[in-house]
A and B are shown apart, each in its own frame.
Chain A
Amino acid sequence: MTDRKIVIPGEVIATGDDYLPGEGTEKRKNEIVAIKFGLAEEFNKLIKVIPLSGSYQPRRGNTVIGKVDNITFNGWVIDLGTASSAFLPVSEVPKYVNRNDLEEVLDFGDMVVAQIFEINKRGIDLTIRSRGLGRLDQGIIIKVNPHKVPRVIGKEGSMISLIKDNTGCKITVGQNGLIWISGDKIEDELFAKKAILYIVENSIISGLTDEMNNWFKENSK
């Protein structure tokens, strides 16, 4: 098995004892079987299945964008669009917080960029102790399919820096599919939005970065 192929649950991807089962796969006797629908990929004898559809599965270290749902006595409950709720404790805010006035830092309905630092049985724990994290004060937020996020970012961020250079906007992509765009003018933000939606729509094209280069040449004023 050399190239990537689409597999469905229960399908045998490879036979032989020298393969290792990775994410989305299972070993049954000497066969590697897919347990998820997606793209099967082999790397150094490790086989994994990358899901193509479905809801967002949170992972440690992901940068996500969420909305403040509730305020408790020691933190905030953030809605990331996931099944289990996410919690941002006061101790993970990198500045002094008056415990009697948590609304001052983050109020109900505020949007926030955060990083997942732990996932346990009780839920997701978030942190904003890093550069680029924290409350979002201006700009627009758009929602895309979470599985298309890697294409929006591109290889080592090539795609996202291309959009940033061409639109002059600040962009943060949350792994949960929410994207924050902030520019000097609303026209710039809408232009960046148009570019991202174009990428999402044409995510299957190979050589998408070159395609986007052309797209920017055609569409920019």
Chain B
Amino acid sequence: MTYKRKDGRKNDELRGPIVAKVGVVPNADGSAMFQIGKTIAIAAVYGPKKMHPQHSQNPEKGTLRCTYNMNSFSVEDRIRPGPSRRSTEISKITEWAIEPVLMIEEYANQVVDVHINIIQADAGTRCAGINAAAMALAHAGIPMKDMVSSVSVGKIDKTIVLDLDKFEDSEFEDGEGSTDIPITFTHEGKLTHIQLDGKISPEQLKEAIEMGKKSCDEIYEVQKKALKEIGK
């Protein structure tokens, strides 16, 4: 018995449209927008600038500081604006996903600020945020070893599917229910971030990672195209 997707996508098919735009915030040092399906994220990078408050300065190397925020109008029922337990977690997760490729060792006592705003949410917001942040950081001229691309893989009942939407992520409850696994890859194929809460067998997890790796290449091409367009 296999799960049939509501929107008629294949199991390893990303949501459309995938749109990426660089330089959407003129006042920022670097910025980008990333849309996948109905999820839209905007990232703005400020810095490197002097770290404030002073007690958080690191004299050994530079710091990356991400702020993830979901706008109150991004979902159907208005969410309470301001930081929450969930948004602080995702901010930290985004930092960890991007930090391995960032070369900010030389920026002692300085900080690179990344502000991620979700203006429309339909599941997979942290992945869209990471994709937008990677482009914005490159646009800000921050030295990076590689680009990162992120996608969420999920298990619906017993089937591994790619890029869950809102229904598959939080409303599907038949059989084993749904499990969401956000994954981030560098273009080289190295894993920088994986999250999982739920039940999955090691074999199926391997399958999910493989599927994620393949689609991250697809997302990378979109990011690359968007960055090259702005330089013209």
Contact = CB atoms under 8 A, between A and B. Distances in A.
Contacts of B232: 6, 204
A71 B224 CA distance: 46
Contacts of A83: 47-50, 107, 110
B109 to A, nearest CB: 8
A9 B145 contact: yes
A24 B141 CA distance: 10
Interface stretch (A34-42, A101-109, A136-144): A34-42
A84 B110 contact: yes
Nearest to B29: A55
B21 to A, nearest CB: 14
Nearest to A26: B145
A46 interface: no
Q: Which of the four size classes fits the interface of chain B? A: 20 to 34
B116 interface: no
Contacts of B146: 9-10
B47 A35 contact: no
B114 interface: no
A208 B124 CA distance: 45
Nearest to A10: B146
B118 to A, nearest CB: 24
Contacts of A26: 145
A37 B110 contact: no
Contact of B228 (A6, A9, A54): A6
A124 B29 CA distance: 21
Interface centre among A37, A51, A121, A204 (most CB of B within 10 A): A37
A51 B50 CA distance: 21
B140 interface: yes
9 contacts: A8-B138, A10-B147, A26-B145, A35-B103, A35-B144, A37-B139, A51-B141, A83-B107, A84-B109
Given A6-B232, A83-B50, A84-B50, 5 more contacts: A8-B147, A9-B138, A24-B143, A53-B140, A83-B107
Interface of A: 6, 8-11, 24, 26, 35-39, 51-55, 57, 83-85, 121, 204
Top 4 closest pairs, chain A to chain B, by CB? A54-B141, A10-B146, A9-B144, A6-B231
Interface of B: 23, 29-30, 47-50, 101, 103, 107-110, 138-147, 186-188, 223-224, 227-228, 230-232
